[in-house]
Structure 1
């Protein structure tokens, strides 16, 4: 049984990682695209933000219509991965600076709602008192999958188009492999979204502060993931390093990918020392990194990379804990609506920061752009400190605040 569980969870995790490479496949090659097609700041931002918007639309649609309950999860996952991979590869056949490429990225994002949450649903069938670790494992897969296209861009450096092909091929293989995964039991029904509950959820003060913490986290996370590669490309170019694209891609892969270990560590320690403790610590560190990293663009190479790696670990270490807080603080019949509401607003907030970064970078440089992101973890920390002081905090992690 243990061997069967380990094998199944491992395959689901690897499939998640391979399919989620689609999320940042176009973002990873932005330096090449901007150079070849003279793409502006707004269009560049849309390569990432359109996927986030699609994910919001897909998640809300799936929650309202209960798609994850009506369709067998492995088939739902596989079909979503195939459609997303096809939309991704079709980028090669449309004008890269046109509207159609953004629509294709939007479709990819919609399909992510059938991959990431449904993958968690499949892993949950194997949960035997280790849900926190398994959720951390899937968030780690999301993190490593987001980093994978940067590795593709080094492995197939001849043309950015090969990176797009590699990401789609990875998702196609995953779609086939996931069909052979055995589940650990009958998947539980997914909590539904009920708009009539929104007012009651928002009136729940502790729950509201858990959401505030998540919103601050999301202000920083995807903007950091989306733009750190271009920042490093500029830093390497300014140093007149040979092949700055290769070095920036490898560095970005390491910086984003190492966050997978931060996610696992965050889940492990949150269950033992408390959710607010972990989220506050992670946001203090990531906020400090955001505040100073731009000022170190001309610093010694080793120092710059160390700061970026610390940022990469801390920026994602708290991510899963905000959802855990919602699950523990919400009434059981409100959990689905609360999670959907938290994620939808959080991703919409991320759209704003993603588009602000290049605008502020053009005006005040990378220091100003990344320092702007520190606003999120500062406000998120305040929210989690206030939650920690509330009596309801005793409901978190078995009484461990």
Structure 2
């Protein structure tokens, strides 16, 4: 179908709405705090394995459970049209409060079975934070939308990395890490209610119609952007989830694996902002193709540094951490620019849900590859096909007439 024109605002395009920078900063702060529960269990996985005598299989499910929960939450939200019927501010705050409580309940979990269930619940609720945040920031930005969405993804990246930093600092039992992450998510939800509001470019509210999900994804540009996103997501969360295990298994690895993991994941935060700025000027398809080529190259090369000097491993890891997530927001930006405005929330949530479903498979495959290949050195090679397929999808998108609506005609 042909997308409906974007809603007309009384604010001239040449005059950005007053206060949008402050709202963006407040939103990023809330996202940093809210997303800390995502990797809270992964950051203390060694302690949980020792406490509960967790098997390799159960440890994998503790990591995958959040992804699966996010998929269930995103699927439910997309099928009901919830992101297009409930104001994003209310949806984000309610989901953040629920995620904090689900994460806090880990302190009372008697074993891995109940912990996995709680991680699934956390993921379900996370689906009410991340997609609405992208929709909310888009109501403030038409010009500069790439850097704005990139800033939100950078905040998500930093929030995801923070539990590793808390754990690397030492001095806290695993319960302290879980408690700190839950408190941060509660504060993030409160911040959403106190400091955020929708901007002058609101997307129209939609009624619930099941056929709208197919309609939202039937747009060619949205479909190809989702294809690019799937290639990107095959690599991203598997790398984030298993980098600590990869670094800790390296011969001669000291006690700095948690700190280096934090630095590698956190390197993506400033990279997301820079990539958004470049995408607004060079084009989103050009930017995503270049970054996926770089990150795929790092996935292929990091095994070569396994027995090399630590500085080389750290350099490749930091480059990978920066490039593997920097393009993430641009796939969402394409949806907001080329999709039907009445279905933007549903399309974003469906795109993210499909992507996170794929991450669960990738997270499961990487340790299997490590076992099959005799160790962690070459395990990340299984991630290389993702960015390659993503590059093909974005190159196809760039050739479509719809690409003229992306990044003010830059594609």
TM over 0.5: yes
Distance, in Å, in 2 between the alignment partners of 1:86 and 1:59 is 19
Match of 2:407 among 385, 397, 401: 397
Q: Which of 110, 122, 130 is matched with 1:116 structurally?
A: 130
Which of the numbers 10, 25, 44 marks the counterpart of 1:10? 25
What TM-score do the two structures reach when normalised by structure 1?
Answer: 0.89
Question: How many residue pairs are counted as aligned between the two chains?
Answer: 394
Could you tell me whether the CA contact under 8 Å between 1:283 and 1:381 is conserved in 2? yes
Q: Structure 2 unaligned segments of length 5 or more: list them.
A: 1-15
Q: Which has the higher helix share?
A: 1
Mark the CA change 1:2 to 1:151 in structure 2 (over 3 Å): closer, same or farther.
farther
Gap change, CA 1:234 and 1:212, over 3 Å in 2: same
Residue 227 of structure 1 aligns to a residue whose secondary structure is helix
What are the residue-to-residue correspondences of 1:17-166 with 2, within 5 Å? 17-68=32-83, 71=86, 73-97=88-112, 99-127=113-141, 129-166=143-180
Structure 2 CA distance, aligned partners of 1:390 and 1:339? 20
Bigger mean CA offset, 31-40 vs 288-297 = 31-40
Q: RMSD in angstroms over aligned alpha carbons? A: 2.6
CA contact (8 A) 1:50 1:105 kept: yes
Q: Supply the distance in 1 between the matched residues of 2:396 and 2:190 (Cα, whole angstroms).
A: 46
SS in 1 for 2:39: coil
Structure 2: how far apart are the matches of 1:3 and 1:395? 25
In structure 2, what is the Cα distance between the partners aligned to 1:379 and 1:315?
14
For residue 381 of structure 1, what is the aligned residue in structure 2?
Answer: 391
Q: Tell me, yes or no, if the aligned pair for 1:357 and 1:369 is still in contact at 8 Å.
A: yes
The Cα shift of 1:208 comes to 3.2
Any unmatched runs of 5+ in structure 1? none
Residue aligning to 1:223: 238
Q: Does 1:289 align with 2:298?
A: yes
Judging changes above 3 Å, is the alpha-carbon distance between structure 1 residues 366 and 190 closer, same or farther for their aligned structure 2 residues?
farther
Closer, same or farther in 2 for the Cα pair 1:30/1:129, shift >3 Å? Answer: same
Distance 1:358 1:91, change over 3 A: same
- The aligned residue for residue 301 of structure 1 is 310
**TM-score, normalising length: structure 2:** 0.87
User: Which of 238, 250, 263 pairs up with 2:272?
Assistant: 263
Q: State which drifts further: 280-289 or 322-331.
A: 322-331
Q: 1:270 to 1:240 in 2, by over 3 A?
A: closer
The answer to whether the Cα contact below 8 Å between 2:79 and 2:213 also exists between their aligned partners in 1 is no
Report the Cα distance in structure 2 between the residues aligned to 1:134 and 1:272, rounded to whole angstroms: 13
